[in-house]
Structure 1
Amino acid sequence: MPHILRGYAPSRFGQLHYRVAVCEAVDALPPLLCLHQTPSNSGDWLPVMEPLAARRTVIAVDTPGYGMSDAPPEPVAIEDFAQIMARFMTDLAEQGLVPSGPFDVMGFHTGSLIATELARSLPKRVRRVVVFGLAAYPAELREEKLSNLLGAFPPPGPDLTHVEKLWAIIGQLSDPRISYEERHISMAECLRLGVRMPWGYISVYRYDFLGAMAQVSQPVLVMNPQDDLWEPTLAHSHVYPNGRRVDIEGVAHGVLKLENARVVAEIDTFLH
């Protein structure tokens, strides 16, 4: 099984940090680009990278402003993230790390929007799409969620109110089987970001996800764990013209680890 290596690539916002599991098979399938949720990093994909790399090279990248990637000066659009990722895959192909032809893309929550925009804007480069959870809302609800962000994620202050709120959110969203140590590590990653922590959500709520979904012509596998996006995913997965949804009941955040074998099998079959 391939080992996971790390590297950096340039972008217009600075360096992008990525992880890669290189497939050496002579008949390898197109590479798979993995895009994480907000606020997290490419390490989310570690449970599935090596198993999926048996048939294709798997790349997981930190979105600008998260993980170890340099940050933009302000929140940017999902379209900007997609353009950066398209350039990133071109750079990797020029280095010989991945083939120069089409690639597959997989996203989780915020990453699902970026993956969708990549597929919509690059129908000849993106072959197939896998998405976990759809933050798909009509415009008025997106505006409401955008206006509520400051209350949900207050900036650092003289007390620990922002820490307490964040810990409560993590406890609410995490699957009960996720250990408290893992939750503390997630919270530490969020706190490290300071006021940038919710910037990815700003990008999400400014994006017409439903409109973009309807323009994706490629096959799409919608993985739907029973987390905070369970309901909107049930309601809107049909908007993808060539989508198929797999519901994973009884598991919240942590699905890549907790349902590893099932997740890998579904993705591998779909991409193969």
Structure 2
Amino acid sequence: MRGYVGPEGAQIHYRSSGTGGPVVVLLHESPQASNVFEPAMPALGRSLRAFAFDTPGYGLSDPPAGPLEISGYARLLLDAVDALGIEEFAVAGQHTGASLALEVARLAGPGRVTHAILSGLVLDRAEREHLGATWAPDKPIDPTGGHLRDLWERYLTIWEQPPQLVNLAVANIASVFERYNWAYRAAFRYDPTDALRTAPCPILLLTAARDMLAHCDELALEIRPDARAVRLTDTTGQLPWRVPEQFAEILSSFITEVPGGPS
């Protein structure tokens, strides 16, 4: 199921699956969209009510008037959760989505977010500053399509295979090319340390062995030593797309079995 929530001109697009069980809110990495979760939605829906949102300005969600900080994006996403009548929920986010997940949990207040599943938090200040300066520069649209060739080469390098997933990445970025770096830059300016340290819910660090941000888990565990960590071997990131059944099983088990989770 797909739908929109929010006022005209500021609607947020979401995908949903499942009719019973705890709720999980899924937040994607930049500059992608909720379609990276689509292969996992049926499996998630067997035991959870899953809602995958397009960050404002990405996918099919309306853009804000200008670039926001992580707190601004998180506030709009929490407003969307509220508009759907969701009370308690878990959050799961990848890369930028992990920062958004923590900020949503902070804004929601104690007792509302039951679990957080995080992949690829950028916690080191020097690394965030380096990425902010180099990773997502402004780019013009090349009349000969060179910007699309550059995107293909980049994502073939960092996402490896298959070509269908690389094509999805390039199409997602091409559709929002004039603002593709807004959420990137917000994420690189955002320090998730305090939000991770104080999040009043169980934390799972779920990472692929070859994810470009897998090394960040070590610092995350120093900040939050009670967190659980699961690292999947023989794969890179984009777990909901590459290993949808395994991704869904891990989320469902963590959300439904950790003491203190929702009934």
TM-score (normalised: structure 2): 0.88
Tell me, yes or no, if structure 1 residue 136 matches structure 2 residue 132: no
Q: 2:80 corresponds to which letter in structure 1?
A: F
Q: Report the Cα offset of residue 51 of structure 1.
A: 1.4
Percent identical: 26
Tell me, yes or no, if structure 1 residue 71 matches structure 2 residue 63: yes
Match of 1:258 in 2: 242
Take 1:12 and 1:80, find their aligned partners in 2: how far apart are those partners?
18
Consecutive unaligned residues of structure 1, counting only runs of 5 or more, are: none
- What are the Cα deviations for residues 75-121 of structure 1, in whole angstroms up to 9, with x where unaligned? 2111112211221111111xxxx4xx311111111111111112233
Judge conservation of contact 1:105–1:115 (CA < 8 Å) in 2: yes
Secondary structure at 2:215's aligned position in 1?
helix
Tell me, yes or no, if structure 1 residue 164 matches structure 2 residue 149: yes
Distance 1:161 1:235, change over 3 A: farther
Match of 2:41 in 1: 49
Q: Report the Cα offset of residue 231 of structure 1.
A: 1.5
- How do 1:1-272 and structure 2 match up within 5 A? 5-10=1-6, 14-23=10-19, 25=20, 28=21, 30-93=22-85, 98=86, 101-121=87-107, 122-138=109-125, 140-149=126-135, 151=137, 154-176=139-161, 178=162, 180-225=163-208, 226-272=210-256
Distance 1:127 1:181, change over 3 A: closer
Q: Report the Cα offset of residue 11 of structure 1.
A: 5.5
Take 1:150 and 1:42, find their aligned partners in 2: how far apart are those partners?
20
Q: Report the Cα offset of residue 240 of structure 1.
A: 2.6
Take 2:135 and 2:7, find their aligned partners in 1: how far apart are those partners?
28
Q: 1:213 corresponds to which letter in structure 2?
A: L
Q: 1:166 corresponds to which letter in structure 2?
A: L
Q: 2:90 corresponds to which letter in structure 1?
A: D
Take 1:238 and 1:192, find their aligned partners in 2: how far apart are those partners?
38
Q: Let me know the Cα RMSD of the aligned residues.
A: 2.1
Q: Report the Cα offset of residue 55 of structure 1.
A: 2.2
Take 1:237 and 1:164, find their aligned partners in 2: how far apart are those partners?
38
Q: Report the Cα offset of residue 14 of structure 1.
A: 0.6
Q: 1:145 corresponds to which letter in structure 2?
A: L
Take 1:212 and 1:163, find their aligned partners in 2: how far apart are those partners?
36
Q: Segments of 4+ in structure 1 off by > 3 A?
A: 157-161
Q: Report the Cα offset of residue 186 of structure 1.
A: 2.1
Judge conservation of contact 2:207–2:237 (CA < 8 Å) in 1: no
Consecutive unaligned residues of structure 2, counting only runs of 5 or more, are: 257-263
Judge conservation of contact 2:204–2:230 (CA < 8 Å) in 1: yes
Q: How many residues align?
A: 254
TM-score (normalised: structure 1): 0.85
Secondary structure at 1:214's aligned position in 2?
helix
